[in-house]
Structure 1
Amino acid sequence: MFAQKLLAQEPLIRSLCFFGILAIMALWESLAPHRPLLIAKSLRWGSNLGLVLLNTLLLRAVFPLAPVGFAEIATVHNWGLFHWLDLPPGLAIPLTIIALDLVIYGQHVAFHAFPILWRLHQVHHADRDFDVTTGLRFHPCEIFLSMGIKIGAIALLGATPVAVLIFEVLLNGTAMFNHGNVSLPPWLDRPLRWVLVTPDMHRVHHSIIPEETNSNYGFNSPWWDYLFRTYRATPAQGDEGMTIGLEAYQTSQQVAQLPWMLLLPFRPWG
């Protein structure tokens, strides 16, 4: 009964979590910014959040069923491993969250490893600043591919709707948190990295140096970076001295313009 009530409020829950975390991070960044911004905040935020709105509208048109809705269908038809094993919810929910987090980690690695996927993902990395909106800046084609991968994983796992809802809220919230233009004191950052990707940890991933860009792939859990040896504690130039973005676009203000972002993967030099 509780699960049914929870799922009935899915749009409200996701909206409240999204706008609540966005507001908290925006306030934190305003009160204690970690780095000065290179591009006018009004331009970047207008474009990055405009891309979020565009992606949301396109997703609703192309994928009328959200991952939670698809999980409900999988549950009704008993699709997937966890349904076949008849696992109790107390075990199936945490296993689903862990498994989906691993899928997202693997997807992220693939988007760096394969040139055709990197063309899409570089829209995220071309941002010359690093703040809460960077965590929302993805090309629509990448969003579509990610949704397809996620739905496939839900079907194979037999993920329950409640587990998927929890995972979606966690993934969205932690992505905004660990892209924040904020910093935690070392005494808190070091132990927190054992359970959660922190802003200082993920900022290394947005370094201009390729070896650093190809590290710290986790969005939610840091465990996969430790396990697969893709973890890097600090950037070579230090957290204050590292350059963010991609080398090819360091002098361009266009990286903060929505039309440029949409066209970037299709440019011959992209």
Structure 2
Amino acid sequence: MTHFLLTHASAIRLGAFAGIFAVMAIWEVLAPRRPQRIGRLRRWPGNLGIVVLDSVLVRLIFPTAAVGVALFAETHGWGLFHALQAPAWLALVVSLLLLDLAIYLQHVLFHAVPGLWRLHRMHHTDLEFDVTTGARFHPLEILLSLVIKLGVIVALGAPALAVLIFEVVLNATSMFNHGNVRMPLWLDGLLRWLVVTPDMHRVHHSWYPHETNSNFGFNLPWWDRLFGTYRAHPQDGQTGMTIGINQFRDPRELRLARMLWQPFRGPVNSYPINARPEHTNGADMP
């Protein structure tokens, strides 16, 4: 069974992506959390174009991707778990936790370093928040993120099965927690102890810097609570909050070509975590 999963890793990832995307898109139509001022016909071509471009680049530059690197490391006995001769079940569980922690720390890093924020802010310049926002990442950020992830996989000696599970779960939760979907408040309150919910992550896409720099988790909500970056609710409420940042607010910026050029245009502004106080005076307002 494990051999079958690893052999068909790409097909499994693609199938999971397509299935979960379809479920979330239908859910958004049937039970939207917020009305959208800018419709899908204006936003989705650029967002989905980014998905296609990212996928092609990753396949061209890293054809074996994360699972292949995990198998290579396993063959050569590289990594912490191989050195410790950890039981397979323990290596799998701990790998899933540590890979998620690495994604959380990477996300914080991309907000903290101005040069990295230039790449990451394209994810935040979407003027609405829905399932396609969860896959809207600049190709240069995707490639850099993959290099970091591969380094963590090799350092840990993470089992290939753990890497495959993590990849599928990461894609699934990214689409889920970016969904413009409504659920009962009691259910959201319960789920956000186990997984990052849309209402929790939507705060991260607020145009107020103190909210943009919170709720960094993608899969597990525990890291935000542990490291003090958790914020329960946006100050303007879920339906009243403004999505995006105070740059690139012209709807023309939703076009694919302009999205790709955003990292090289305009100032870094006040959003990186380590911005100096004199640069953030009044920056909470657009």
- Normalised by the size of structure 1, how large is the TM-score? 0.97
**Letter of the 2:44 counterpart:** W
Match of 1:159 in 2: 158
Match of 2:116 in 1: 117
Task: Give the superposition deviation at 1:40.
Answer: 2.6
| CA root-mean-square deviation | 0.9
Matched, 1:131 2:137: no
Write the distance in 1 (CA, Å) between the matches of 2:110 and 2:71.
29
C-alpha contact (below 8 Å) 1:130/1:203 kept by paired residues: yes
Task: Give the superposition deviation at 1:38.
Answer: 2.2
Task: Give the superposition deviation at 1:11.
Answer: 1.6
- Normalised by the size of structure 2, how large is the TM-score? 0.92
Write the distance in 1 (CA, Å) between the matches of 2:222 and 2:39.
35
Write the distance in 2 (CA, Å) between the matches of 1:161 and 1:40.
40
Write the distance in 2 (CA, Å) between the matches of 1:100 and 1:162.
13
Classify the secondary structure of the residue corresponding to 1:216: coil
C-alpha contact (below 8 Å) 1:128/1:255 kept by paired residues: no
Q: Which moved more, 1:10-19 or 1:196-205?
A: 10-19
Task: Give the superposition deviation at 1:104.
Answer: 0.2
Match of 1:4 in 2: 3
Match of 1:101 in 2: 100
Write the distance in 2 (CA, Å) between the matches of 1:88 and 1:79.
15
Match of 1:31 in 2: 30
Match of 1:262 in 2: 260
Match of 1:245 in 2: 244
**Letter of the 1:218 counterpart:** G
Classify the secondary structure of the residue corresponding to 2:239: helix
Q: Which moved more, 1:234-243 or 1:217-226?
A: 234-243
Match of 2:201 in 1: 202
Classify the secondary structure of the residue corresponding to 2:63: coil
Task: Give the superposition deviation at 1:139.
Answer: 0.3
Count of aligned residue pairs for this structure pair:
268
**Letter of the 2:34 counterpart:** R
Classify the secondary structure of the residue corresponding to 2:207: coil
Q: Which moved more, 1:8-17 or 1:226-235?
A: 8-17
Structure 2: where are the runs of 5+ without partners?
269-286
**Identity percentage of aligned residues:** 57
Task: Give the superposition deviation at 1:194.
Answer: 0.6
**Letter of the 1:203 counterpart:** R
C-alpha contact (below 8 Å) 1:124/1:134 kept by paired residues: yes
Deviation per residue, 1:98-140 (Å, 9 max, x gap): 0000000000000001100000001000001000000000001
Match of 1:212 in 2: 211
C-alpha contact (below 8 Å) 1:105/1:217 kept by paired residues: yes
Match of 2:282 in 1: none
**Letter of the 1:221 counterpart:** L
Classify the secondary structure of the residue corresponding to 2:19: helix
Deviation per residue, 1:27-72 (Å, 9 max, x gap): 0001111112122311211110110000111111111221000000
Write the distance in 1 (CA, Å) between the matches of 2:111 and 2:182.
26
**Letter of the 1:39 counterpart:** I
Write the distance in 1 (CA, Å) between the matches of 2:5 and 2:136.
28
Classify the secondary structure of the residue corresponding to 1:248: coil
Counterparts of residues 40-79 of structure 1 (less than 5 Å): 40-79=39-78
Write the distance in 1 (CA, Å) between the matches of 2:71 and 2:210.
41
Moved over 2 A (4+): none
Match of 1:187 in 2: 186
**Letter of the 1:141 counterpart:** L
Match of 2:225 in 1: 226
Structure 1: where are the runs of 5+ without partners?
none
Write the distance in 2 (CA, Å) between the matches of 1:184 and 1:87.
41
C-alpha contact (below 8 Å) 1:55/1:140 kept by paired residues: yes
Write the distance in 1 (CA, Å) between the matches of 2:38 and 2:257.
17
Q: Which moved more, 1:16-25 or 1:179-188?
A: 179-188
C-alpha contact (below 8 Å) 1:216/1:230 kept by paired residues: yes
Classify the secondary structure of the residue corresponding to 1:208: coil
Match of 1:88 in 2: 87
Write the distance in 2 (CA, Å) between the matches of 1:31 and 1:40.
15
